[in-house]
């Protein structure tokens, strides 16, 4: 499911019963940190929780926090050989979100949505960001509770899946 396949994306969301608010988040391809800051009305910050390099791949985990509340868990696989040195340096420093790095380095890119899902406790997506000497696979999980507390999503019975 590619970013520009809007009809396919909308049809997929409709067939899976995603709420409009979930669709806004799952179908957004700007920086998720900015989008979440707008939704929650205050800055959302990235906190690096784990980062390891093994077999020429960096595995990076972060929490996106609004105050003390985790509003997104993200895990990224970064193949070192497919990314330019300055991107790897920024990732190794651990102080910026990946979207911020792409913007900072002004790397043209395309994003491909690989998977979306939802259940009673949250909703998620996996997507690739690809550009010249850039390749990232990002999986994001959005716990439902913080979004319900601010009225962004509504509580409903969701079939696990």
pLDDT tens digits for range 118-143? 999 999 999 999 999 999 999 999 99
pLDDT tens digits for range 86-109? 999 999 888 788 888 998 999 999
pLDDT tens digits for range 36-47? 999 999 999 999
Give me the domains of the chain, ranges plus CATH numbers. 6-149 (3.40.1410.10)
Tokens representing residue 102 in the block: 């792409």
**Cβ-Cβ contacts under 8 Å for 19 (sequence gap 6 or more):** 153, 154, 156
Q: According to the 3-state scheme, what is the secondary structure of the chain?
A: CECCCHHHHHHHHHHHCCCHHHHHHHCCCCCHHHHHHHHHCCCEEEEEEEEEEECCEEEEEEEEEECCEEEEEEEEEEEHHHCCHHHHHHHHHCCCCHHHHHHHCCCCCEEEEEEEEECCCEEEEEEEEEECCEEEEEEEEEEHHHHHHCCCCCCCCCCCC
Taking the model in full, what pTM does it have? 0.89
């Amino acid at each position: 499911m590619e970013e520009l396949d809007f009809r396919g994306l909308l049809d997929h969301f409709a067939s899976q019963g995603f709420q409009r608010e979930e669709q806004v988040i799952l179908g957004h391809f700007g920086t998720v940190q900015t989008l979440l800051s707008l939704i929650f009305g205050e800055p959302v910050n990235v906190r690096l929780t784990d980062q390891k390099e093994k077999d020429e791949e960096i595995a990076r985990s972060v929490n996106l926090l609004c105050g003390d509340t985790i509003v997104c868990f993200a895990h990224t696989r970064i193949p070192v050989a497919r990314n330019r040195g300055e991107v790897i340096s920024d990732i190794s420093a651990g102080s910026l979100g990946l979207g911020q790095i792409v913007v900072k380095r002004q790397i043209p890119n395309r994003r491909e949505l690989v998977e979306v899902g939802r259940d009673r406790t949250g909703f998620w997506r996996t997507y690739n960001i690809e550009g010249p000497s850039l390749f990232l696979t990002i999986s994001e999980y959005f716990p439902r509770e913080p979004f319900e507390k601010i009225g962004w999503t509504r509580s409903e019975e969701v079939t696990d899946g």
